Structure 1
Amino acid sequence: MKTIGVLGAGVMGTGVAHALAESGHRVILNDVSEEQLRKARQNIRKNLRMYRLLQARSSGAPTGPDANDAETLGRIETTTELAPLRAADFIVENVTEKWEIKQELHARLDQLDMPPVPVAVNTSAIPMARFAALYSKPGRIVGMHFMNPVPLMPMIEVIRGEATAEDTLGAAKQLTTQMRRQCIVVKDSPGFVTNRVMMLTVNEAVFLLHEGVASAEDIDRLFQTCFNHRMGPLATADLIGVDTVLYSIEVLHREFKDDKYRPCPLFQQMVDQGLLGRKSGRGFYQYDV
Structure 2
Amino acid sequence: MSEFSAKADAGAWGSGSHIERDLILTDADFRRIRELIYQRAGIVLAEHKREMVYSRLAKRLRHHGLTRFSDYLSRLEQHPESREWEAFTNALTTNLTAFFREAHHFPLLADHLKQASGPVKIWCAASSTGEEPYSLAMTLQEALGARASQSKVVATDIDTDALQKARTGVYPLEQVRKLDEARIKQFFQKGTGQRAGFARVRAEVASLVEFMPLNLLAPGWPIEGPFDAIFCRNIMIYFDKKTQAEILRRFAPLLKPNGLLFAGHSENFSYISPEFKLRGQTVYTLAAHSSAAR
TM class by shorter-chain length? Answer: 0.3 to 0.5
TM-score scaled by length of structure 2: 0.37
Larger radius of gyration: 2
- Normalised by the size of structure 1, how large is the TM-score? 0.38
Greater share of helix = 1
